[in-house]
Chains A and B, each alone.
Chain A
């Protein structure tokens, strides 16, 4: 009797202690999770607040429509178009490599390859995306460019072609893994219906499965493009550092990312226009990649639901 009373006596204290610990754990974990939101807000606020003084001096109109980027000249011009043109040209060329290769790989992995093939092929693809980008830069400058120079006489040492091709290869895994997920999500019924009509695997894959997974495949390409636009090291090493309006991939030119890396390497004093221009260019890059990311997610969710 007394023992049980003692027990009953302990229980509330024990429970209260436990409840305290529970509440403490939950709030500590929640605080850790909220760091993510702080980082996201931090990026936005830092880019905005540090580039605001820049836009007071330069003006948004000149920034967006001036066709020269000459921050170090006596009469400095800060037109983003040259940097933007090199960035977009690089992204476009990289897509020309990454999309066909990535989608083919995805179709092959999901519709043709056996379990055993997948077991070596997928880690090999992962390997491609785990190699440091600075090494890809080395490869672009000292292997791909000399190779291309033999095919295209007069190709300068620094050009957009070589880094774009290398970036294209680099992002194949992004295209292929997301596309493969989309292809695998296509119901088996559709394939079986195609087979029963006499279609071979390739016909079913190209005419039934791929169209059904079109939204996922498109989303993967858009997300990979965003990756390509934000890539720094390969272009900083192999594309040269001269800011100019480019339309020809054989020319070398500085991208948004190249400019940031190049200026940050020289020690720039805070509150100088050069320092602020880093954040203005960073803000442009951030908004550009964000736009493509949002577009990618939107395509996946908006059209993904229709096919299901």
Chain B
């Protein structure tokens, strides 16, 4: 080997070694993040496991830590989420379709874009203030399930819109052109061809948005969730006509994250175990929704690429 080649070889060798070091550092950072996640979850389970049983799920809160449960909280979470889904999904999907399929470039559409971009960056607690001023006080909806559901709907609306647009954008132009060439109108093309193709993507975005909504605490605190609630809202379905009862919409409420927050804030450490147990329920719900979203996305991808 001539001396010059030898030097080249040494330089390259050094570069490769430093590459390996850098790759290792990157891996280490990932491991630190995974460790934090694991520590968080293990700590939660270890602290809360003693309390986590059927009685915990079926009891109201109590002054005695060992008798307290999360019945009102999880029922509240589900009802609030129902309102959120009913409001945010149609609005968000429709807005996404409009922006992607209809809107022409211009002042109005750039105003829409700016609004969406900025709304996504607004701290969630500010949505709580908007709801407090506008819904709770302004429209006299009170500190109710309806107010909470609509608040969270406004919060996740940008997410639903953005994921709807991404899903629509991934549908091929050929499909649209083929449909239009056969004489279908724009709406017929969207409704019969584009939307079904985009469905898995939209659904994924909607579920991720709802999983964000179920974990949100700050805006719900601001509009006045109760932290000690020992009754359930009126049942939505009744045995007598008119069978559907909407009183529950105006009922006071609490939700899971509020219950967790309330229990953490108690000085008595016995309640911290309750907070951990409720936290486990919350995280499991959240992970389950994320898993469903991931599953839908993966399945759609596999179908698309054979």
In angstroms, Cα B201 to Cα A265, docked, is 38
Cβ of A107 under 8 Å from chain B: yes
Task: Tell me the dominant secondary structure on chain A's binding face.
Answer: helix
Interface residues of B (CB under 8 A from A): 8, 11-12, 14-16, 18-19, 21-23, 25-27, 29-30, 32-34, 36-37, 39-40, 43-44, 47, 90-91, 94-95, 97-99, 102-103, 111-112, 115-119, 121-130, 132-134, 137-138, 154, 157-158, 161, 185-187, 208, 211-212, 214-218, 221-224, 227, 257, 260-261, 264-265, 272, 275-276, 279, 282-283, 286-287, 290, 294
A-B contact pairs, 27 of them (CB 8 A): A22-B185, A22-B187, A26-B187, A28-B94, A29-B94, A30-B98, A36-B115, A46-B138, A108-B25, A125-B33, A130-B212, A132-B260, A135-B40, A135-B279, A138-B275, A172-B33, A199-B15, A230-B125, A232-B123, A264-B132, A265-B227, A267-B224, A270-B137, A285-B125, A286-B126, A289-B122, A293-B117
In angstroms, Cα B30 to Cα A109, docked, is 10
Cβ of A33 under 8 Å from chain B: yes
Cβ of A96 under 8 Å from chain B: no
Cβ of A212 under 8 Å from chain B: no
Contact with B along A254-271 (1 / 0, CB 8 A): 000100110011010010
The residue in chain B whose Cβ has the minimal distance to the Cβ of A46 is B133
Whether B154 pairs with A39 at a CB distance below 8 angstroms is yes
Nearest-neighbour CB distance to chain A for B199, whole angstroms, equals: 17
Whether B123 pairs with A230 at a CB distance below 8 angstroms is yes
Whether A257 pairs with B91 at a CB distance below 8 angstroms is no
Q: What are the residues of chain B within 8 A of A278 when measuring CB–CB?
A: 129, 132, 222
State whether A18 and B185 are in contact (beta carbons under 8 Å apart), knowing that A124-B30, A132-B217 are contacts in the complex. yes
In angstroms, Cα B283 to Cα A36, docked, is 30
Nearest-neighbour CB distance to chain A for B39, whole angstroms, equals: 7
Whether A123 pairs with B222 at a CB distance below 8 angstroms is no
Contact with B along A79-122 (1 / 0, CB 8 A): 00000000000000000000001001101110011000000010
Whether A21 pairs with B187 at a CB distance below 8 angstroms is yes
Other-chain residue from B118, B214, B222, B290 in contact with A260 (beta carbon distance below 8 A): B222
Contact with B along A26-46 (1 / 0, CB 8 A): 101110111111011011001
Cβ of A290 under 8 Å from chain B: yes
Residue from A39, A108, A123, A261 whose CB has the most chain B CB atoms within 10 Å: A39
Residue from B22, B119, B216 whose CB has the most chain A CB atoms within 10 Å: B22
Whether A39 pairs with B115 at a CB distance below 8 angstroms is yes
Whether B25 pairs with A104 at a CB distance below 8 angstroms is yes
Other-chain residue from B32, B37, B116, B122 in contact with A101 (beta carbon distance below 8 A): B32
The residue in chain A whose Cβ has the minimal distance to the Cβ of B48 is A138
Q: What are the residues of chain B within 8 A of A142 when measuring CB–CB?
A: 43, 47, 264, 272
Whether A112 pairs with B26 at a CB distance below 8 angstroms is yes
Whether B124 pairs with A232 at a CB distance below 8 angstroms is yes
Whether A135 pairs with B283 at a CB distance below 8 angstroms is yes
Whether B134 pairs with A132 at a CB distance below 8 angstroms is no
Other-chain residue from A25, A127, A229 in contact with B37 (beta carbon distance below 8 A): A127
Other-chain residue from A128, A133, A143, A172 in contact with B217 (beta carbon distance below 8 A): A133
The residue in chain A whose Cβ has the minimal distance to the Cβ of B279 is A135
Cβ of A162 under 8 Å from chain B: no
Other-chain residue from A101, A127, A261, A270 in contact with B218 (beta carbon distance below 8 A): A261
Whether B279 pairs with A101 at a CB distance below 8 angstroms is no
Known pairs A203-B18, A261-B125; list 15 more (Cβ under 8 Å): A33-B99, A34-B112, A35-B95, A101-B32, A101-B33, A108-B25, A134-B215, A134-B261, A138-B260, A230-B123, A232-B125, A264-B132, A264-B223, A278-B222, A289-B123
